[in-house]
Amino acid sequence: MKYPQGVKKNQVTSKQAGREINYGQRGMTLEKDLDKTNQFYLDTKRAIIHKKPTPVQIVNVDYPSRKKAKITEAYFKVPSTSDYNGLYKGRYIDFEAKETRNKTRFPFINIHAHQVEHMRACHNHGGIVFIIVKFTVHDEVYLYPFEHFIKHWDDFLGSGRKSIPYTDIKRESILLPIKYNPRYDYLAAVDEFYFE
Residue 96 counted as an annotated binding residue:
yes
Query: Model pTM?
Result: 0.75
What pLDDT sits at residue 23?
A: 36
Q: Domain ranges for the chain, please list them.
A: 28-53+79-195
Query: Per residue in 70-98, pLDDT tens?
Result: 878 776 665 677 889 999 999 999 999 99
Tell me, rounded to whole angstroms, the distance of Cα 129 from its chain centroid: 13
The third-level CATH classification (topology) of the domain covering 28-53+79-195 is Trna Endonuclease; Chain: A, domain 1 (3.40.1350)
For residue 180, the tally of other CB atoms under 10 A from its CB is: 9
Contact 147, 153 (CB under 8 A): no
Helix (H, G, I), strand (E, B) or coil at 132: strand
As a whole number, mean pLDDT of residues 127-144 equals 96
pLDDT tens-digit map of 45-71: 999 999 987 666 777 888 777 778 887
Nearest one of 31, 29, 23 to 7, comparing CA atoms: 23
